[in-house]
Structure 1
Amino acid sequence: MTRIGVVGAGAAAAAATYVLDGALPSAGVTVLEKSRGVCGRAATRRRGEVTYDYGANYVTSDDERVVELLTETLDADGLVDVTEPIYTFDADGDVSEGRDNDGHKWTYREGLTQIAKRLFGETDATVHTETRVETLVCDGEQWRVVDADGGEWGPFDALLLNPPAPQSAELLRDAEWESEARTALADAAEAVPYRTIWTAVLGYEFELDRPYYALINPDREHEIGWIAREECKPEHVPDGETVLVVQANPEWSVEYYDNDPTGNIYELAHLTADVIGHGGLAEPAWTDHQGWRYALPDEGVRRGAVDDAADADLYAVGDWVAGEARLHAALRNGLDTGERVAHSL
């Protein structure tokens, strides 16, 4: 039986697994994910009746194949669209109308993690969460994986690598694989620049009346890069309440990443109140936070290094491979990579 290993359970890995399960129904697919959940930075949390996407905010309709996947191939029940526009603000916090287009901004009533949950749910793949991969081993023509507890997985006829580029590079550096392709892909992955994002989630027991879904600072000159209103997503926030997802800009995020979260939240709440023009936003009723050290790749990986590794049945997959830090790009890359692996095997 053909056996395939997948390191990481992000959106791209889920899409690749979905394709592989359909193209190679007799194959066994094993997914190893270090976190407790799936879908990577397309992450969702719940607090009572509140649901909020605190990483990626939505998936767009910019790729026809991804549109078909979400609206026709998978069960579209619970798929919802954010219809309010996105406005911009400048370094002084002055808000202006729109950079929005006619495209969709999709999530699910249960949150964006539904993408990976539904993709994996359509397969016979085995997904192991809270399993941190530490070592990749190439035994001739097959792969094995060793986790942080010393457990061994495999052998696999092909291995997919889904962590962000810096973490993938670290795995490759430590891999037991004597090949120029290992060094080349590690070098290429290390060269991918990433934005760090520190996120505050701010909850309020009052309703905010504004004509936009989100505000973005396109020139990155303000301490905040993005403010989104989760109440614009159907069934995410009860009536009469407000939940804001506030993402600091990369420079601020790097500087304050390891600081006391309480101070970071306080600072971002006051900055948010100034931008939106509502003093009450400086005092949220409840808060949450998340730091994303490797949030968004600013460039893609060198393609030749990815192709050379694929010749040894090691496949890099994700937005850093797609070369675009967007959820639809990660999904499309997963679909394409899944087809490539299936064809090779």
Structure 2
Amino acid sequence: MTDVGIVGAGAGAAAAAFVIDRTVPDADVTVVEKSGGLCGRAATRRHEDLTYDYGANYLKSDDDRVVELITETLDDEGLVDASEPVYTFDADGAVSPGRDADEHKWSYRRGLTQIAKRLFGRTDATVHRRTRVETVRRVDGTGATDGDDAAEDGRWELDDADGATHGPFDALLMNPPAPQTADLLRTAEWDDPLRETLVEAVGAVEYGSVWTAVLHYPFALDVPYYALVNTDKEHAVGWISREECKAGHVPDGETLLIVQASDAWSAAHYDDDPAENVAALAEHTADILDDERLADPAWTDHQGWRYALPEGGVDAGPIDSARDAGLYLLGDWVAGEGRLHAALANGLDVGERVAYGI
């Protein structure tokens, strides 16, 4: 196996590409990513002298292989740890200590996207950004579609929105969120009964939405925690974190809050006017932190994540069967846990399966 195609450049895809490149030196890896960035929802932006992780907030140390990857295999220069605890708040906005844990809360001085950038940077993979895949196609060795008497050892091709074709590939890895992966498989030119079974399994994965406000203030907050999480899931806000707790992200004497709305609030207001959403979340933040100054941020940003967090796993049977056709699905939703470390661990697993033909 020498030609590998990957749809999506999330953390799982980056980890898989890294393993394949190290294990199969002659592999030719091509990545097609619809956005201009890398690392999926582990996203970073910069504004003047501010750096902020506005999707996934940090990487937990919950998987030994991921810890070794981040701290030993890759260069750990610029790795930072938010050491302050995570507190909780309830439906009434009452803040309490109590959800601190021993795991690390890692990012980088230049943000979480460094994970994918460093992984891809250690490979010879070709990454096509701003390239949207429209068609997935199974072909035989002569280029015929799978429905035209294709051989069992068929390969994969991708057509993008600009009319270009990528491939053929011996193995195809698909890293988008489950609903987007299901859409691509639903219209795939792949004449195999497994396709319908796979679409049904992948399409059944439910997701929670997250609408995020980024709030900047020209003053520091005197609080003992890195973040607040709503544990009863009855508040409009689900999460508030302080980017100034990550070295290099925020100048001294300033505050930058990442405020993520709850799934219910996000779904109800997803298509509302962004300025109104930001203002509403700033008001909620001021109430929770009991600081009226927070209702009037000096500068704001925002982002909606329609497919933010998978709410369950996926039936592994069809996914395992798809590997016989050289099709591999990966991501946090395959791992069954909407966490960055889970996406990376799943990517390592998939990379090994591809490399060793498992």
Q: Is TM (by shorter chain) over 0.5?
A: yes
Q: Deviations over 1:123-152 (max 9, x none)?
A: 000011000001100003100000011110
Measured in 2, the distance between the counterparts of 1:267 and 1:56 equals 22
Q: Deviations over 1:231-275 (max 9, x none)?
A: 000110001110000000000000000000000000000000000
- How far the C-alpha of 1:22 sits from its partner, in A, is 0.6
- How far the C-alpha of 1:185 sits from its partner, in A, is 1.3
Q: So what's the TM-score if we normalise by structure 2?
A: 0.96
Measured in 1, the distance between the counterparts of 2:101 and 2:333 equals 25
Between the aligned residues of both structures, percent identity stands at 65
What's the counterpart of residue 299 of structure 1? Answer: 312
What's the counterpart of residue 73 of structure 2? Answer: 73
Q: Deviations over 1:83-112 (max 9, x none)?
A: 000000000000000211111000000000
Measured in 2, the distance between the counterparts of 1:221 and 1:308 equals 40
5+ residue gaps, structure 1: none
What's the counterpart of residue 329 of structure 1? Answer: 342
- How far the C-alpha of 1:47 sits from its partner, in A, is 0.4
Letter paired with 2:124 = D
The SS at the match of 2:111 is: coil
Question: Equivalences for 1:111-150 in 2 at 5 Å?
Answer: 111-140=111-140, 141-150=154-163
The SS at the match of 2:212 is: strand
Measured in 2, the distance between the counterparts of 1:133 and 1:121 equals 23
1:283 aligns with 2:278: no
What's the counterpart of residue 39 of structure 2? Answer: 39
- How far the C-alpha of 1:182 sits from its partner, in A, is 1.2
Matching residue within 191, 197, 200 for 1:184: 197
Measured in 2, the distance between the counterparts of 1:22 and 1:252 equals 44
Q: Deviations over 1:22-54 (max 9, x none)?
A: 111101000000000100000000001100000
What's the counterpart of residue 262 of structure 1? Answer: 275
What's the counterpart of residue 206 of structure 1? Answer: 219
What's the counterpart of residue 180 of structure 2? Answer: 167
Letter paired with 2:15 = A
Matching residue within 138, 141, 155 for 2:168: 155
What's the counterpart of residue 150 of structure 2? Answer: none
Measured in 1, the distance between the counterparts of 2:69 and 2:169 equals 28
- How far the C-alpha of 1:206 sits from its partner, in A, is 0.8
- Tell which deviates more after alignment, 179-188 or 206-215: 179-188
Measured in 1, the distance between the counterparts of 2:131 and 2:329 equals 19
Letter paired with 2:219 = F
Measured in 1, the distance between the counterparts of 2:352 and 2:100 equals 33
Q: Deviations over 1:307-330 (max 9, x none)?
A: 111110000000010011110000
Measured in 2, the distance between the counterparts of 1:135 and 1:87 equals 46
1:82 aligns with 2:95: no
Measured in 2, the distance between the counterparts of 1:100 and 1:164 equals 29
Measured in 1, the distance between the counterparts of 2:258 and 2:195 equals 39
Q: Deviations over 1:269-306 (max 9, x none)?
A: 00000001110000000000000000000111110010
The SS at the match of 2:325 is: coil
Measured in 2, the distance between the counterparts of 1:180 and 1:94 equals 53
Letter paired with 2:341 = H
1:231 aligns with 2:244: yes
1:319 aligns with 2:332: yes
Letter paired with 1:251 = A
The SS at the match of 2:52 is: strand
Query: Which stretches of structure 1, 4 residues or longer, exceed 3 Å deviation after superposition?
Result: none
Measured in 1, the distance between the counterparts of 2:315 and 2:129 equals 30
Letter paired with 1:54 = Y
Matching residue within 322, 325, 335 for 1:309: 322
- How far the C-alpha of 1:184 sits from its partner, in A, is 1.3
CA RMSD across the alignment = 0.8
- How far the C-alpha of 1:19 sits from its partner, in A, is 0.2
Question: Equivalences for 1:49-68 in 2 at 5 Å?
Answer: 49-68=49-68
Letter paired with 2:117 = K
Measured in 1, the distance between the counterparts of 2:183 and 2:323 equals 18
Measured in 1, the distance between the counterparts of 2:209 and 2:87 equals 23
